[in-house]
Structure 1
Amino acid sequence: MRFGGGSGIEARNLMILEDQLRLHAQAAKKCELYAASFAAPALRSCASQLAKHHRECFLGLLSYLDAHR
């Protein structure tokens, strides 16, 4: 079964993408929480960069899904 018509995403692949979206969202949130809790600027910066990376991955996957509706 496909999502979004003839050239859409198969159901199994859609489930994988949904899992990845959820995991990237969780990772971004955790990194944001850690960044807020660190006192050391270097650790805060590192955690913020990781949060940004996970947000970008999330948005990239979301764009991919939107393009294949």
Structure 2
Amino acid sequence: MALSLYAAQALVGSYLNGRQLPDALLGSIVDSVEARLKSGKLPVLDEALRDLIDQEAIAPERPAVAPSTRSH
């Protein structure tokens, strides 16, 4: 894996902070971020990309908590 792709995935993953995106959209955003990294454009995650992520990201599901089986 190219270092620029790894960096783009890390940047997007960090911004998502546990949220999920559909695979196709995630791939497109990572590609855009990688292209911006390679060309030296700043900011790498510009306002348009952040807005798109914020609009489409799905919050992570909370893990189910099993009821306690012990009685006190």
What band does the TM-score fall into relative to the shorter chain? Answer: 0.3 to 0.5
Structure number with bigger Rg: 2
Structure that is richer in strand per residue: 1
TM, length-normalised to structure 1: 0.34
